[in-house]
Each structure stands twice: as C-alpha cells, then as structure tokens.
C-alpha cells in the first residue's frame, strides 16, 4: 500500500517506518525539518525515493498543517503517530492539547478533503486515554479493556503536565472517533492504545541527552542517576516498541481491525525488575546501578489493576516480546548511540 506516516522521526514511528518498508509498502513520512528527513534517508541507503519520501510539517498544531503534505497520488492509508510526549512544558494547551487534538482532527480533515483514495487510518493513542487516574494503580477489582475511557476533564488537564499529557491523548482520540461519526469519511479508523513503550531506539535519530520520554528510566539506570534510590514506577504496564509498531501496520492491513480500538499491552513491569535485567546482562554497568539493598522501585502493596489484551492477540495475531529481551535490546541500542 502507499502509506503516509506522520512524525517519522519519533521513537515508535521509526520502527513503524522500517516495518512498513520490510512488508513492501511505500512510505511518505512527515518530519519537522529537512535535517531529520536527511538522517532517515541516509539510514536507508538501499531504499530509493519511489519507496521512501518525505514531507516537512513543522507544527501539527497549526490548522491546515497537513493539507498540502497529504496530496499524494494513489495514497491508500495514513498512520498518524505525531503528538508531543514529554512533560517539559510551560503551557498545557499550547504545548500538549493543541498539537494532539488539532494534529489529529487536522490530518483527518486533510485526508477527507485532499486524499479521497485513503481507505484506512491508524492513530497512535495511548493507555492514557483508557486509564482512570483517580482510581489509582491498586484498583484490583477492575480489568481495563478497550471499553474504558479516561474521564479526565479540561480543568484536571490544566492541573499538572502528567494530567495534561493524559488529557491530550484522551481528547485527541475522542475527537477522532467523533470525526468518523459526524463526517462519515471514506476511510475506517483503528486506534492503538499502548501503555509505556520500551525497546531499542534507532541510533541515527537519537542522543542520550534527547532520548524519548518512555526510555529515560533505562538511561537513568545506565548513567548512575538512580544509584541511591529507585523511583516509583508510576505506570506498571508496558509493551515493546517493535510489537506496538507491528500492530500499527497490521491494523492498517487487516480488514477485521477496521473501526476498533486496540489496548496493546504485554504485561506488568517495575523499575526494580528493569534494574535486575540490566545487572544480569550488562555487568559493565554494575557500579552505576543501585545495590540490591537500595529501596524503591517495586510493586504497590495494594496490588495492580487487571488488563485484557485479548482483542489485540485475536484480531492482530501478535506475539509479544518479554521484558528481558526488550531491555537488553534497548541497552544495546543506547550503547550504539553513546558511541
């Protein structure tokens, strides 16, 4: 298929891009600058420009940002991953909510208007749009599924950056489903709702100082920043980046995935478990890791909510990688970046 991938320089999108190419699709990806396009192009020397091409979209929060970029002959599918995921913000609306919501509605409007051949749209949402923050991690009587929606309000969104991020994902995904209902476009929609995404980064787009948000906890172990105390894990469920990336592509390819949300989760993890995986597999980091006697980073005594990934397994048919494989491959990739 001919696919438009937004935010191709992102942690997850870099893997989506490679999986699309491996499976024979043609990719046109948007990035914010020519230098990012050049870096991706250079990392794919054997792929010619008829299979991989670029569009510059500097700021998805601008109305109409995708209108021109999406005008592509024969375009059949769109995977929209671009959205801010960081907590380093000054203005929740401007820095998180607008790019998430206007970015999502903007790309859907642009497709309807300027790419009428598109039949499939896949959007990266998040467990942030499913979880109910007020219930806490120890809501043991509840099992989260695709039927759950985060009830967060705009007022709560403005309370702190973490709420702001969760709200940005919730409002953006809701806006996408509302668009589908009201506008009745030619395309179907699938949304991907992963919890924390861990796993290898592509070396050509990263530096250790500007690592994507979800992998920063591993970097903190590797640099010795967490030697004296392991912080609270916060979010206790995860999935490997290669698995969530493959799910995006499968959702685009499979008819059965149309008009469904997918809660894409491997299982649970804690910061302490990550630490032990690094200790076991990378003895060279031993003196930077917290000793076994150091406190923190375990599971809550009250237990953890349940999760149900059966729709992802049944409809998309994926097998999930385990935590040890993911962390080992991530540490190896960060060593490459360090070089």
Residue 120 CA to residue 15 CA, distance in Å, equals: 19
Binding to ligand NDP (CB under 6 A) within 102-161 occurs at 124, 126
Provide the b/e sequence for 148-187 (b: ≥16 CB within 10 Å). bebebeeebbeeebebbbbbbbbbbbbbbbebbeeeebeb
Residue 9 CA to residue 81 CA, distance in Å, equals: 10
User: Least distance in Å: CB of 290 to ligand NDP?
Assistant: 23
Q: Say whether residue 233 binds ligand NDP (CB under 6 A).
A: no
Note the maximum CA span of the chain.
61
User: Least distance in Å: CB of 2 to ligand NDP?
Assistant: 21
Residues 6+ apart with CB under 8 A from 30: 4, 5, 6, 7, 8, 54, 55, 56, 57, 66, 69, 82
Residue 201 CA to residue 138 CA, distance in Å, equals: 31
CB burial class (10 A; 0-12, 13-18, 19+) of residue 34? exposed
In the chain, the DSSP E strands lie at 2-6, 26-31, 52-56, 77-80, 120-124, 143-144, 188-193, 196-198, 237-240, 260-263, 267-268, 306-307
Nearer to ligand NDP, 26 or 326 (CB): 326
Query: Taking contact as CB under 6 A, which single stretch among the options 71-79, 81-89, 105-113, 280-288 is the one that binds ligand NDP?
Result: 81-89
Give the binding-site size for ligand NDP (rule: CB under 6 A): 26
Nearer to ligand NDP, 235 or 294 (CB): 235
Binding to ligand NDP (CB under 6 A) within 6-45 occurs at 7, 9-13, 32, 36
Site string for ligand NDP, 183-212 (x = CB under 6 A): -----------x-xx--------------x
Query: Taking contact as CB under 6 A, which single stretch among the options 16-24, 47-55, 59-67, 182-190 is the one that binds ligand NDP?
Result: 59-67
Query: Taking contact as CB under 6 A, which single stretch among the options 78-86, 135-143, 150-158, 261-269 is the one that binds ligand NDP?
Result: 78-86
Q: 193 has which bridge partners?
A: 263
Q: How many CB atoms lie under 10 A from the CB of residue 258?
A: 16
Residue 104 CA to residue 124 CA, distance in Å, equals: 10
Nearer to ligand NDP, 9 or 326 (CB): 9
By beta carbon distance, the residue nearest ligand NDP is 10
Nearer to ligand NDP, 32 or 113 (CB): 32
Nearer to ligand NDP, 188 or 191 (CB): 191
Nearer to ligand NDP, 11 or 187 (CB): 11
User: Least distance in Å: CB of 292 to ligand NDP?
Assistant: 27
Nearer to ligand NDP, 180 or 235 (CB): 235
Binding to ligand NDP (CB under 6 A) within 253-282 occurs at none
Residue 329 CA to residue 324 CA, distance in Å, equals: 8
Residues of this chain that interact with ligand NDP (CB under 6 A) are 7, 9-13, 32, 36, 57, 59-61, 81-85, 99, 124, 126, 169, 194, 196-197, 212, 214
């Amino acid at each position: 298929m001919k696919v438009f991938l937004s935010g191709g320089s992102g942690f997850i999108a870099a893997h989506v891009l490679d999986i699309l190419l491996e499976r024979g699709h043609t990719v046109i990806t948007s990035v914010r600058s020519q230098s990012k396009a050049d870096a991706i192009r250079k990392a794919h020397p054997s792929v010619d420009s008829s299979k991989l091409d670029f569009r510059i979209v500097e700021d998805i929060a601008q109305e109409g940002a995708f209108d021109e970029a999406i005008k592509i002959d024969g375009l059949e599918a769109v995977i929209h991953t671009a959205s801010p995921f960081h907590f380093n913000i000054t203005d929740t609306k401007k820095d998180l909510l607008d790019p998430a919501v206007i970015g999502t509605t903007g790309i859907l409007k642009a497709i309807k208007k300027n790419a009428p051949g598109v039949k499939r749209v896949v959007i990266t949402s998040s467990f942030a749009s499913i979880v109910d923050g007020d219930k806490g991690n120890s809501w043991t009587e509840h099992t989260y599924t695709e039927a759950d929606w985060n009830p967060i309000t705009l007022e709560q969104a403005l309370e702190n950056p973490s709420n702001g991020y969760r709200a940005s994902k919730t409002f953006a995904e809701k806006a996408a489903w509302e668009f589908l209902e009201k506008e009745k476009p030619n395309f179907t929609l699938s949304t991907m709702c992963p919890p924390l995404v861990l796993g290898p980064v592509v070396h050509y787009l990263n530096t250790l100082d500007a690592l994507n948000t979800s992998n920063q906890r591993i970097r903190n172990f590797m640099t010795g920043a967490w030697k004296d105390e392991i912080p609270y894990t916060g979010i206790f469920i995860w999935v490997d980046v290669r698995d969530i990336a493959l799910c995006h592509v499968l959702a685009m390819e499979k008819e059965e995935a149309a008009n469904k949300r997918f809660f894409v989760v491997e299982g649970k993890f804690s910061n302490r478990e990550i630490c032990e995986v690094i200790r076991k597999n990378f003895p060279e980091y031993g003196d930077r890791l917290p000793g076994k006697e150091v406190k923190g980073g375990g599971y809550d005594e009250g237990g953890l909510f349940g999760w149900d990934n059966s729709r992802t397994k049944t409809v998309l048919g994926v097998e999930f990688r385990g935590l040890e494989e993911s962390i080992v491959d991530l540490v190896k990739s960060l060593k490459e970046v360090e070089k």
